[in-house]
Amino acid sequence: MFVTERWTETAYECGSCEALFDTTQEHALHCWDDHPWVPNPEQVRCRRKADE
């Protein structure tokens, strides 16, 4: 991401470790590697708006 690019409005939070991600794919890959006991990353995905 370049400095001139706008940050995304929505971040995706991992429910297991509270890490934040810009895309659902990044979150899924993180859970696949770091939380193999979670059968489906969508079970722990929470949408967080920038104004929270």
Per-residue pLDDT of the chain (52 residues; tens, 9 = 90+): 556 666 667 788 888 888 999 888 898 888 888 887 766 655 555 666 665 5
Q: Which two tokens stand for residue 29?
A: 């890959």
Domain-wise residue ranges, the chain: 10-49
In residues, how long is the chain? Answer: 52
The residue assigned the tokens 């001139």 is 4
The residue assigned the tokens 């890490």 is 19
Longest Cα–Cα distance in the chain? 39
pTM of the model: 0.54
Q: Which two tokens stand for residue 45?
A: 């995905």
Whole-number pLDDT of residue 11: 83
Whole-number pLDDT of residue 24: 85
